[in-house]
Structure 1
Amino acid sequence: MTLRHALLATTRALTLAISLSVSVHAQAQAVSVTDDRGHTVSLPRPAQRVISLAPHATELIFAAGGGERLVGVVEYSDYPEAAKTIRRVGDNKAVDLEAIAALKPELIVVWRHGNARRQLEKLGALGIPMYESDPRRLDDLPEALMRLGRLLGTEPAAQRAAADYRRTLQTLRERYAGRPPVTTFYQVWRQPLKTLNNDHMVSDVIRLCGGVNVFGTLEPLVPTLSDEAVLQANPEFIFTASMGATHSNRPVDSLDGWKRFPRLTAVQRGNLFYVNGDLINRPTPRVLEGAALICEAMEGVRGRR
C-alpha cells in the first residue's frame, strides 16, 4: 500500500469514526418518557425552556434540578423561594396562551385536574410537547423526579432527590409500622362537606401513619358527605389543611363546627388537627414533612385513649 493510499484509508476511518460518534451523541440527546396519563413524551434533546402549569409541578421540577429551565409558572408556585421570581402565565383555572407561546417553551408540564381540559386542548394545538404530572402514591414520587430529570437533562440531581426521598419514606415506614390503627377523617372542605378516597395520596399518608380512612372506599376521588355520615363513622381523628399558599383563604376554625357534636370521638378526645395544606395536598417531596406531622399527631391520639 502506498503512502497516499494509507493516508486515504486513515482519513476514511477517522471520518467514519467521527460520524458514528456524532450519531451516537445525537441519539443520546434525544429523550423519551411516559407521563402519568400513560402518554409517551419525546424530545429531540433535553428541554432548556420549560413552563409549569401547576404549583406541585414547579416544586418537582426544582427538586429534579431543573429550576433554571423554568421560564413560566402559574400562581401559587411559591416553593422554593426562587419560584416566586418566575413569570406568571395564569393560574389553575385559566392560562395565557399568547404568553405561553411567546416564551417559546420546549416542554409544558400540566396537571389535568387543575388545568381546564379545553385549555389543554388549545395548548396541544400549539404543537409544544406536554407532560402530564399527577402522582397518586407516595411511591410514585421518586419516579416522577427521575422522569422529569430525563426530560430536563438533570438526571444526577433527580437521582439524588429520589434517593433522599426514598430514605426518608423508609424511615417513616419503619417508625410507624405496626402501630395501633386510628380511624381517620380528612376534611377537604366544610361547605359542601368533602373528603378524599383511598386513590388519593393523602390516604397513602394516613396509611403510612397507621391510620384508616373511614371514607376510603367511596367514589369518586373527592366524595361529598353529610354530617350524619361522619357521625355514623365516628372517626377518632379528624384533620384538615390550613394555611399554605394554596389554602390562604381557608378559615382557621374550619373544624370548629364539629364541636357541636361532643359525643363524636375525635371531639371528645380533642383530636382535631390542622396541617399546612402545601405539605399534604401537593404531591412533592415535601409531602413527607406533612406526613411526619400527621404521624406525630396520630401518636398523640393513641396516647389519649
Structure 2
Amino acid sequence: MPFSSAPVVGAAAALLLAAGLAQAQPAQRIVTLQPSLTEAVCSLDACERLVGVDRHSDWPAGIASLPRVGGMAEANIEAIVALRPDLVLLGTRSRSAQRLQALGLRVLVLEATSHADIRRNLEAIAQALGKPGAGERLWRGLDLRVQEQRRRVPVAWQGRRVYLELHGGKAAASEESFIGETLALLGLVNVVPGRLGAFPRLGPEYALRADPDVLISTVVGSTVAPPQRPGWHALRAVREQRYCSLNAQQFDVVLRAGPRIDEAAAAVVQCLHRLPPPQP
C-alpha cells in the first residue's frame, strides 16, 4: 500500500495564498516554531536560511547553534522580530500567528494530522522557498523508502495487531493518526480505532482488553517498562516478550509529522525484528 502518487493540485497554492505568500519573493530568513517544520526546511536543502527555531528542534545537528525562540504555546515574539525573518513557519496549535502577522511578519500556518497533510506541507514550504516541485519530489522519495521498510517486515508479523502507546502509556496512536497510517503502510493492524480520535487518552485497561500481538512503548522520563506495571503480566504480548520500547530519539521521530516518517517506519520494523515471532 504505497503512498498516493497523484499530483498535489491546488492545496499547496491555497495555503500560500491564504498566508499572503503566493506572490512573495523566496524566503531567505526563516524562523520555525515546530520541529517537523525545521526538519522540512532542512530536508528541502535550505537549512542555511534558518535564523531561529523552537526550543525542541534538534535535527539535523547543524541547527544546534541557532537562536531558540520558545515553543508553540509561548513563542518569544520580541526575539523573533529581532531576527528580522521574512517568513515564520508554525503549526495550527501555535498561539503566535495573529500577533506575528499584526507586526507585519509573513506567516505560514501548516496543519499536519495525516500523510496527505505532510505531503501538502512539504510542497507549500518548497514553494515558499522558491523551489516549486521540490516538496513533491521529497515526498516521492519518502514513498519509496517506506515501501522498502514494508518489505523488511517479517512475514510472521504481516496483518498482526499492534498497540503503539505514547507519553508513557497515557495515550495511544489510533488508525486515524499519521502514525497509524504509517503502521498500516507496514501491513500492521492498529487495535485503536479511529473513532476514538487520532491520539486518544486510554488507560491500561484498554490495552489489556485489546490484547495486541505486539506492544510498542516509549522510554521517556520516568516511564515504567510494561513488565513492571501493575496487572500488565496478564497481557500476552508482555508474557511472551513481544514488546519493545523506543528510545527518546526514536520517539521524537515517530511523533513528528514531517519528512522523517520513513525513519519512523524503520524504527517500528527494527522493533519487530528484535521480537520473537507471534504464535500462529
TM-score, normalised relative to structure 1: 0.75
1:33 aligns with 2:7: no
Which shifted more, 139-148 or 88-97? Answer: 139-148
How many aligned positions are there? 263
- Residue 288 (structure 1) aligns with: 262
Structure 1 contact 235–266 (Cα < 8 Å) conserved: yes
* Structure 1 segment 134-283 matched on structure 2, within 5 A: 134-138=111-115, 140-155=117-132, 158=135, 161-176=138-153, 180-190=158-168, 193-242=170-219, 250-251=221-222, 253-258=224-229, 260-275=231-246, 276-283=250-257
**Structure 2 partner of 1:105:** 85
Aligned sequence identity (%): 24
Mapping of residues 121-132 of structure 1, within 5 Å: 121-132=98-109
Q: CA offsets per residue over residues 113-137 of structure 1, 9 Å max, x none?
A: 3x2x3x3332232232221233333
Structure 2 unaligned segments of length 5 or more: list them: 1-11
Change (3 A) 1:214 1:62: same
Q: Secondary structure at the match of 2:25?
A: coil
**Structure 1 residues 72-91: aligned runs within 5 Å:** 72-91=52-71
Per-residue deviation, 1:200: 1.5
Q: Distance in 1 between matches of 2:214 and 2:47?
A: 38
Structure scoring higher RCO (CA < 8 A, sep ≥ 6) equals 2
CA distance in 2, matches of 1:173, 1:35: 32
TM-superposed deviation, 1:259: 6.5
Residues 244-287 of structure 1: CA distance to partner in whole angstroms, max 9, x if unpaired?
xxx5xx23544344473323111121122122112211122322
User: What CA distance in whole angstroms lies between the structure 2 residues aligned with 1:157 and 1:210?
Assistant: 29
- Identify if the C-alpha distance between structure 1 residues 128 and 288 changes in structure 2 by more than 3 Å, giving closer, same or farther: same
TM-score (norm 2): 0.81
Tell me the distance in 2 between the aligned counterparts of 1:121 and 1:44: 19
Structure 1: tracts of 5 or more residues without a match: 1-31
